[in-house]
Amino acid sequence: MSTHELLFPKFEYHLDEFDIIVLMRQDDAFVAAFSARGVTREGIVEAAREDYRELVRVHHARHAQNTEEHRSA
């Protein structure tokens, strides 16, 4: 062992990879997360479509509920 090796201790390093792509709505709501290694354009588009379908479904359900409540009043 040389004097140089004694002055500098051995350290082992590793990398934690956090390569994530996050799909957000314009209102900053989380939609989906994808691995940057496996993400595809089709996967992102499908997640956006599913989210939009759910937004439309919820909107229609609320509208129907409000209409029913208005008729009952």
pLDDT, residue 72, reads 80
pLDDT in tens, 13-36: 655 557 888 899 988 899 998 998
| For range 54-60, the mean pLDDT | 90
Contact at 8 Å (CB) between 5 and 22?
no
Residues 6+ apart with CB under 8 A from 43: 34
pLDDT, residue 20, reads 87
Q: Is 0.95 surpassed by the pTM of this model?
A: no
Q: What is the enclosing helix (H) or strand (E) of 21?
A: strand 20-24
Q: pLDDT confidence of 41, banded at 50, 70, 90? A: very high
Give the alpha-carbon dihedral of 67, 68, 71, 73, to 10 degrees.
-110
Please indicate whether residue 70 or residue 32 has the higher confidence score (pLDDT).
32
